[in-house]
Amino acid sequence: MNEKTEIPNVRTGMHYTTGNHAAAEGALAAGCIFFGGYPITPSSEIAEHMSIRLPQIDGHFVQFEDEIASIAGLLGASWGGSKSMTATSGPGYSLMVENIGLGMMTETPCVIVNVQRGGPSTGLPTLVGQQDIMQTKWGSHGDYEPIALCPSSVQECFDLIITAFNFSEQYRLPVTFLMDETLGHMSERLIIPAKEKIKIVNRKKPTVPPEEYLPYKPDKDLVPPMATAGEGYNVMMTGLTHDERGYPVITAEAQELNVKRINDKIRLNKNKIIKLEEYMLEDAEIALISFGSTARATKGAVSRAREKGIKAGLLRLITIWPFPDERIETLADQVKVIMVPEINYGQITREVDRAVHGKTEVKGIFKLGGALHTPEEILNEIERRVK
Amino acid sequence: MSRIEVRFAGFGGQGIGLMGRLVGEAVALHEKNKNSVMTQSYGPESRGGASSSDVVISEGEIDYPKATELDYFVVLSEEAYQKYIPKLKKGGILFVEEDLVRLDDQSKKAKEIYKIPATKIAESLGSKIFSNIAMLGFVCANSKDIVSEEALVKVMKKKIKARYVEKNLIAFQMGKEYKHEG
């Protein structure tokens, strides 16, 4: 009696659920079959849900001893051919950054969900924050170009984590999925489409016979095909600077080739990666740039400002990294001021300030964690600026 | 329809979170052209002490997901009443478990106050665990723009454990039919 009821990885239909559960279901729909993690508030429901769902689809769930081991497990699972993910929050991400660097250097696809809470340190375990923006960019040492996506609704927790997996597979790198406590715990309608309607990208496999395969020889898109350990191909992994064979080569020349390429594969493709939502920006004189849960209140503030005859508009960052420098610079030519509401002390504001090249004024609207901005608070700032 | 904000509140163990989840899901999945966002108190304060869950309802997109000024406040404990009554909008509507909440002057800003002995009704069915659903029946019958009985019953049948469904549906009916005096 070995027959099991077929339980699908895609739960097509209409649901009412939290952002955390939606992200877990999205990961499964994307083809994730390995979760390694260590529970931490406010992300624990993702691990809990995956611990129930993965055994149903013959996947694997491992609760590791800590976050350092968890991310190491992800990298190994990925080299073994499994799409893999973890879910954590700021303190756990801090422990993971070393091996995220290893994932960047070994070009290992995987997805790290960070359900942000207030920091630094243990900070506000149960309350919202958006303070890990720069950690995602610069957390590990050395030069690398991360990709990070930032959903604003329960539906996007599902849809965009699939995109996160697709980017990680296409460009071969750990991708960070930046949620926040509010989104993780709030419930909304989620529509899961039919399995065949979901676009899935899988890593490129070698097209040459094993004796000709060089594990780090890139194609034209700068991404090397990736063999799975055990398929007969040489699989080499090292954090040391390496050549196309994957052998350590400790020279300036090898560093130029290796590190330049792992950055350029993202830099040169950034227009294919960057995702933005524009709302009422066409004739805007005041632009707001926002992301995650904060973008919802910001959109409300923009609508209310328009009702009062103020020409405001919203640029919502769906991808945080790579940063949309060019779009922000053109926006700077158009508007009198760019305002940036965010739940931190100026992380995206600083990036926007850098991107505008002094062409317009940039003003942050900060909360340091623990609560969302209300639309009224943002509207007050807009009105103050107009007067 | 503009935005409507509902808060359910009581103490841990009364099934306050379930009330929000049932109403939120009934609105978002079974009412035509309506959206809802449900959030609930989370963290140390939800382990005992006052517990709350909020449902924001709108025909349009819901921007800010949390409640700011309550149109409806449904309260099942004294502590929760004292903690959250300041959030009730002037002219809002108040539902109270009359044996567990002592109203004071702060309730005067409510346009309407509905009182029900929800726990006693539940106990007549064998357990006070049905008091949240008795209250939901009462709320459903005495509010126009939160959620329909049809939608709520659909969700209760789906979400409540099979062996408790029947008694919960009776509790819901008793709450619905309860006529408060004054």
Domain regions of chain A by residue span:
13-197, 277-386
The number of C-alpha atoms within 13 Å of A165 and in the hemisphere containing its C-beta is 28
Tell me how far apart the alpha carbons of residues A80 and A228 are, in angstroms, rounded to a whole number. Answer: 5
Interface probe with B: pick from A14, A16, A21, most Cβ of B within 10 Å? A16
Option in B25, B40, B66 nearest A16 (CB): B25
Per-residue pLDDT of chain A in tens (387 residues, 90 and over written 9): 445 567 899 999 999 999 999 999 999 999 999 999 999 999 999 999 999 999 999 999 999 999 999 999 999 999 999 999 999 999 999 999 999 999 999 999 999 999 999 999 999 999 999 999 999 999 999 999 999 999 999 999 999 999 999 999 999 999 999 999 999 999 999 999 999 999 999 999 999 999 999 999 999 999 999 999 999 999 999 999 999 999 999 999 999 999 999 999 999 999 999 999 999 999 999 999 999 999 999 999 999 999 999 999 999 999 999 999 999 999 999 999 999 999 999 999 999 999 999 999 999 999 999 999 999 999 999 999 998
What is the DSSP secondary-structure string of A64-112? -SSHHHHHHHHHHHHHTT-EEEEEE-HHHHHHHHHHHHHHHHTT--EEE
Positive or negative: CA dihedral B44, B46, B52, B53: positive
pLDDT of residue A269: 97
3-state class (DSSP) for residue B154? helix
pLDDT of residue B42: 73
pLDDT at B41 over 60: yes
Contact B66 A372 (CB under 8 A): yes
Summarised one tens digit per residue, pLDDT across range A290-345 is 999 999 999 999 999 999 999 999 999 999 999 999 999 999 999 999 999 999 99
Pairing of strands A124-128, A110-118: antiparallel
Tell me how far apart the alpha carbons of residues A317 and A150 are, in angstroms, rounded to a whole number. Answer: 7
Q: How far is CA A88 from the centre of its chain?
A: 13
Residue of A nearest to B68 (CA): A374
Alpha helices in chain A (DSSP H): 19-30, 44-56, 67-79, 90-105, 133-138, 154-171, 181-185, 252-267, 270-273, 292-307, 325-334, 347-355, 375-386
pLDDT of residue A1: 41
CA B126 to chain A, closest CA, distance in angstroms equals: 31
Count of C-beta atoms within a 10 Å radius of residue A201: 17
Contact A345, A319 (CB under 8 A): no
Interface probe with B: pick from A188, A314, A378, most Cβ of B within 10 Å? A188
CATH architecture of the domain covering A13-197: 3-Layer(aba) Sandwich (3.40)
Element (H, E) at B39: strand B35-40
Q: Which one of 3.20.20.140, 3.40.1410.10, 3.30.70.1350, 3.40.50.920 gives the CATH number of domain A277-386?
A: 3.40.50.920
| pLDDT average, residue stretch B27-55 | 86
Residues of A in CB contact (< 8 Å) with B are 14-16, 42, 125-127, 181-182, 185-189, 293, 296-297, 299-300, 303, 372, 374-376
Tell me how far apart the alpha carbons of residues A338 and A351 are, in angstroms, rounded to a whole number. Answer: 12
Tell me how far apart the alpha carbons of residues B160 and B165 are, in angstroms, rounded to a whole number. Answer: 6
Summarised one tens digit per residue, pLDDT across range A140-174 is 999 999 999 999 999 999 999 999 999 999 999 99
Tell me how far apart the alpha carbons of residues A266 and A317 are, in angstroms, rounded to a whole number. Answer: 17
Task: Delineate the domains of chain B, giving CATH numbers in brackets.
Answer: 4-177 (3.40.920.10)
pLDDT of residue B21: 97
Chain A residue numbers with beta carbons less than 8 Å from the beta carbon of B37 are 186-188
3-state class (DSSP) for residue B62? coil
Contact A189, B29 (CB under 8 A): yes
Chain A residue numbers with beta carbons less than 8 Å from the beta carbon of B31 are none
Neighbour-count burial of B38, counting CB atoms closer than 10 A to its CB (0-12 exposed, 13-18 middle, 19+ buried): buried
Positive or negative: CA dihedral A348, A351, A355, A356: positive
Instruction: Please report which confidence band the pLDDT of residue B45 belongs to, taking 50, 70 and 90 as the band edges.
Output: low
Contact A179, A111 (CB under 8 A): no
CA distances from A162 to A24, A58, A182, A347, B46 (A): 10, 19, 20, 26, 33
Interface probe with A: pick from B21, B42, B46, most Cβ of A within 10 Å? B42
pLDDT at B18 over 90: yes
Do A13-197 and A277-386 fold alike per CATH? Answer: yes
Option in A127, A186, A376 nearest B65 (CB): A186
Let me know how many helices (H) and strands (E) chain A has, helices first. Answer: 13, 15
Contact A279, A295 (CB under 8 A): no
